[in-house]
Structures are given as structure tokens and as C-alpha cells.
Amino acid sequence: MQDHELIKRIRQGEKQLFGQLIEKYYDDVFRYCYYQTGNEHTAYDCTQETFYHLMRFLENYREQNRFKSYLIRIALNVCKDYFRKNGSRTVSEVSYNQWTDNAAPGQNTANIPPSVVGPERDTVIRLLVREGLMLLSESQREVIVLYYYQGYKLREIASLTGVPLSTVKTRLYAGTEKLKQYLKEEGGLI
């Protein structure tokens, strides 16, 4: 069933169909929330909160075949709200710094040592990228997540985040530069 049909029927009173709508978009929303908050538990909470918001204001949704974007916009606001209430950083479960703290004495932790290969190297890169993303400002991370992970175009991001296109470009540029610098200095990756 198409989104617009589903929403129309939910509005008409078939509330049991709401489950189908959540099933369809749960993963997308979770992924966005995870990248934005960097924490699995927080991502679950934000995902649930997003659907609660959707639930309350579904009546105000006007069909434009952009339901996913509408949902992501809600998720974006929910994450912003989360950061406002809980400070700008979330606690990562395992940080890259913890990994470097465990490095052997004398080992150069500025770069990932060549001895670290295979899955362990992937894990380290993952931690490093996550740390890097969390070091960015909320707005820079938002743009990077939407651009690289969600695949939105810059113009769409401008609409989603409610800032001018030029600001999106500036944030993307500043964010990627900061991230690249971090990845280069901490892991020698770029």
C-alpha cells in the first residue's frame, strides 16, 4: 500500500494501520537518529519519540509524496530537542580514546598501527569516525549525516534543516574539513 493511501486510511480511523507505517520507516529513522546521536540507546528513544510526534500531528501532514523527508525532519527536531535537554554530546559506549588508552607503551597512537588489520582495523575506523562525527557541531553533523548517509541533495538538506543553501554548503565544507583533519591526525587515514 502506498504511503498516501495508508495515511489517508489512518486518518479515516483505521488506526491499526499505523503499525505498518512504523514498520516501513523504523529502520530509516533509527539509522538517522543513531548517526546523529552516536548512541544506540538514545537512538531507540529518539526513534520512538519521532513516531510519537508523527502520531500526534499526522492530521497536519499534507500529501506531497515526501513522507520520508517529513519523518526525517521530525527526527531531526527530536534529536535537536534531545541535545537541548541533555547537552551537546552523548556518551559513546566504547570510545576511540579508550582503544588508544589500551595501546602498548611506546606505541604511536596518532596513527592506526599497521599491525592492526582485518576486523579489528574496521572496528577502530568505525570508532574513529564516530568520535570524529561527535566532535562536530550539531549542525555540521546534521548536514554530513543527511548528505553522506541519507543521500539527500544539498538543496533538499536546505529545505529539511531550514537554512539557506549557502549555509548548508558552508557547514558541509567546514564539517568535512574538520572530520578529515581529525581522521588524519588521530588515525592517519586520509
Partner 1 sequence: MKISLPRREELIKDRRKPFRSKRRLSGKGLPEKDLELETLLKQYTPPEIRPDIRKSQITQLSADIRNTDYLPRQSFMEQILTHMSFISGWVWLSQAGMLFLIFYYIFQTELLLLNTLLSCLAPGLSLILVYEVSKSFRADIWEMEAACRYNLAQIFFFRLCILFGGDILVLTIALIAYRMVGGLLWQFCYYALLPFFLTGAVSLHVLRRIGNRCNSTVIAAVPLSVGILDFWVMPPVEKGFSFGGISLSKGIPIVTMLALFLLLYNTLKLCTKMHYLNENRKDHSAWNFE
Using rule CB under 8 A, residue 28 touches partner 1 = no
Using rule CB under 8 A, residue 185 touches partner 1 = no
CA distance 189 to 37: 23
Using rule CB under 8 A, residue 182 touches partner 1 = no
Measure Cα distances from 148 to 70, 141, 142, 153 in Å: 19, 10, 10, 9
Residue the block writes with cell 506531497: 64
Among 3, 7, 34, 92, binds partner 1 (CB under 8 A): 34
Among 6, 129, 135, 174, binds partner 1 (CB under 8 A): 129
Q: Least distance to partner 1 from the beta carbon of 42, Å?
A: 12
Q: What is the dihedral of CA 149, 150, 154, 157, to 10 degrees?
A: -120
Q: Least distance to partner 1 from the beta carbon of 24, Å?
A: 11
Q: Which of residues 49-88 bind partner 1 (CB under 8 A)?
A: 51-53, 55-64, 66, 70, 73-74, 77-78, 80-81, 84
Using rule CB under 8 A, residue 135 touches partner 1 = no
100/132 with CB nearer partner 1: 132
Interior angle at CA 35, CA 21 and CA 31, nearest 5: 25
Stretch that binds partner 1, among 1-9, 44-52, 103-111, 112-120 (CB under 8 A): 44-52
Among 4, 5, 15, 91, binds partner 1 (CB under 8 A): 15
Which spans of this chain sit near partner 1 (rule: CB under 8 A)?
Answer: 11, 15-16, 18-19, 22-23, 26-27, 30-31, 34-35, 40, 43-44, 47-48, 51-53, 55-64, 66, 70, 73-74, 77-78, 80-81, 84, 122, 125-126, 129-130, 133, 144, 148-149, 155, 158-159, 162-167, 169, 176, 179-180, 183, 189-190
